[in-house]
Amino acid sequence: MERKRFSNQELNASYSVILLNDNFNTFDYVSHCLKKYIPNMTSEQAWQLTHKVHSEGKAVVWCGCQELAALYRMQLSGAGLTVAFLEKEYSPCHVT
């Protein structure tokens, strides 16, 4: 099987996984899902992001390459959360 080669521009592109607020998932469940599916997510980070989503309507919960962004979006969405992902500029990405 041939491995896919990425251009420097593709490697530097940052895709954001954005969690959107909903009216049916509990804080505990959302926080649990973030810890389960987002690598290296601490309990404190998950709780802070959950509160941000609730108060602001959305939050960036992860950013990086397109393939992983798609995977995390699929996993979170499969768990019943409302998620989007967007390509960002070719610049550093910050989880908000």
38-42's contacts with Cβ under 8 Å and 24+ in sequence apart are 38/62, 38/72
In tens digits, what is the pLDDT along the chain, a chain of 96 residues?
Answer: 555 555 555 556 689 999 999 999 999 999 999 999 999 999 999 999 999 999 999 999 999 999 999 999 999 999 999 999 887 655 556 666
Specify the pLDDT at position 86. Answer: 83
Nearest to 33 by CA among 15, 13, 16, 53: 53
Classify residue 82 by burial, with Cβ atoms within 10 Å: 0-12, 13-18, 19+. Answer: middle
List the chain domain ranges. 15-87
Specify the pLDDT at position 72. Answer: 97
CATH topology of domain 15-87: Ribosomal Protein L30; Chain: A, (3.30.1390)
pTM assigned to the model: 0.81
